[in-house]
Amino acid sequence: MEKKIEEQLRYLKLFYLMENWNKDVSEAEENGWSLSKLFKHILNKEEEFKRNRARLSRIKGAKIPIEYAIETYPFQNQPHLNQKRLLAHYESLSYIHNKKNMILMGPTGSGKTGLATSFLLNAINAKYRGKFILFSELIENLWASKADNTTKVLINKYASYDCLLVDELGLLKVEEAQVGLFFTLMQKRYKKTCTIITTNLGFKEWEDYLGNRQLAAALIDRMTDNGLVINMRKCNSIRSDAEVD
């Protein structure tokens, strides 16, 4: 490739063509491609390259510790889960399109984080913006934001994600004021986006954990309204307010 062409491609940010110029030109010459076919091939490949770069950038920005895939999820370890309905939600992206919340309950080792992460990655791969964050880290960030008066900015930031996965609610003891900040965020996301929460607590334990009966009831109400609850503790099937298996 001529130096001038390389500089032009770099300036135009045609990175696929920068890497494949010689290969594509040689293939076109060997196979007698028309200019129209060559241009279409380059455009398709360049678009594919840029879309994949954007996807990888979204995944990197989501800060996902381990990228689990639903194709490798061991459903045999949770035989009472409704795998067919789960996959239907996953493949149709209904949880994103319909702004459904998801709560995955179960003890450590039940696979709730892996399953939740696969739904988050699925949304990101479908061009939605997503974020993975531990509940303890989220609470810490929200609480720290009060010191420099950036709470509103931070809540708006977390509220803007199409899919927010909050992992391990219940492992860290929280104060009522901190819970209030979390509720404010969930209220901001209510019916506007999809929030996925994993927890080792059943709903009856939320009141004691959060330390406020009314707040716990309101949070559960917003999370389950048109939402999905996946109980991996007892291996129950998926349910929502509209459908019970």
Task: Enumerate the domain spans of the chain.
Answer: 3-62, 70-240
pLDDT at 109: 85
CB neighbours (10 Å) of residue 75?
A: 14
Half-sphere exposure of 209 (CA within 13 A, CB side): 18
The pLDDT-based confidence of 58 (bands split at 50, 70, 90) is very high
Span 80-85, average pLDDT: 90
Contact (Cβ atoms closer than 8 angstroms) between residue 166 and residue 133: yes
Given this model, what pLDDT does residue 79 score?
85
What is the residue-averaged pLDDT of the chain?
A: 89
Bridge partners (DSSP) of residue 105 are 199, 231
In contact, 210 and 182? CB cutoff 8 Å: no
Q: Which amino acid is at 244?
A: V
For residues 75-85, average pLDDT = 89
Average pLDDT for residues 194-208, to the nearest whole number?
Answer: 94
C-alpha atoms less than 13 angstroms from C-alpha of 152 in its C-beta half-sphere: 1
Higher pLDDT among residues 13 and 34, named by residue: 34
User: How does residue 90 score in pLDDT terms, banded at 50, 70 and 90?
Assistant: very high
| 184 burial type by CB count under 10 A (0-12 exposed, 13-18 middle, 19+ buried) | middle
Instruction: Decide: helix, strand or coil at residue 46.
Output: helix
Q: What percent of the chain has pLDDT over 70?
A: 95
Nearest alpha-carbon partner for 170 in 104, 234, 94, 232: 104
- Specify which residues 152 forms β-bridges with: none
Give the pLDDT score at 233: 59
* Fold that domain 70-240 belongs to in CATH: Rossmann fold (3.40.50)
Between CA 186 and CA 103 the distance in angstroms is 13
Who wins on pLDDT, 226 or 148? Answer: 148
At residue 239, the pLDDT reads 43
Does the pLDDT of residue 236 top 50, yes or no?
A: no
Element (DSSP H or E) covering residue 130: strand 130-134
pLDDT tens digit string along 120-163?
Answer: 999 999 999 999 999 999 999 999 999 999 999 999 999 999 99
- Say what the pTM is: 0.83
When pLDDT is averaged across residues 79-97 and rounded to a whole number, the result is: 93
Mean pLDDT, rounded, for 86-112: 94
Terminal C-alpha separation, the chain:
62
Q: What is the pLDDT of residue 173?
A: 83
> What is the number of other CB atoms lying within 10 angstroms of the CB of residue 185?
21
